[in-house]
Amino acid sequence: METSQNHLGAASLDLTQVSSGDEVRVRHLACSPTTCQRLREMGFCENALVTKIRGGADLVCWVCGTRVALSARLAKQILVEHVDGKS
């Protein structure tokens, strides 16, 4: 699977590249400040654990005990890493 090197120096995937059912940790948000802030307020803050429930054109994730739907282009701006270290 293709990975990217983010400014934090860690090999990261974006959320669209994660398989359904995988639990990942948010590493970095690369969207506009307003969108980033709303994502953080809804639980997608850096270091938060997120489980991808469903992929496709739009995604459904499990974060902070709720299901949140995200458009794929937004999910591409959420850089994550696997909790168990696999990439």
Burial class (CB in 10 A: 0-12, 13-18, 19+), 41: exposed
By CB under 8 A, tell whether 43 contacts other proteins. yes
Binding residue (CB under 8 A) for other proteins from 1, 5, 9, 56: 56
First to last CA, the chain: 8
Stretch that binds other proteins, among 2-10, 11-19, 40-48, 79-87 (CB under 8 A): 40-48
Distance, CA of 53 to CA of 66 (rounded, Å)? 11
Q: Does 34 bind other proteins (CB under 8 A)?
A: yes
Per DSSP, helices labelled H in 1-87 are 33-41, 72-75
- The length of the chain is 87
Of 7-15, 67-75, 79-87, the segment contacting other proteins by CB under 8 A is 67-75
Instruction: Summarize as ranges the residues that interact with other proteins (CB under 8 A).
Output: 31, 33-43, 45-48, 51, 53-54, 56-58, 60, 62, 64-71, 73-74
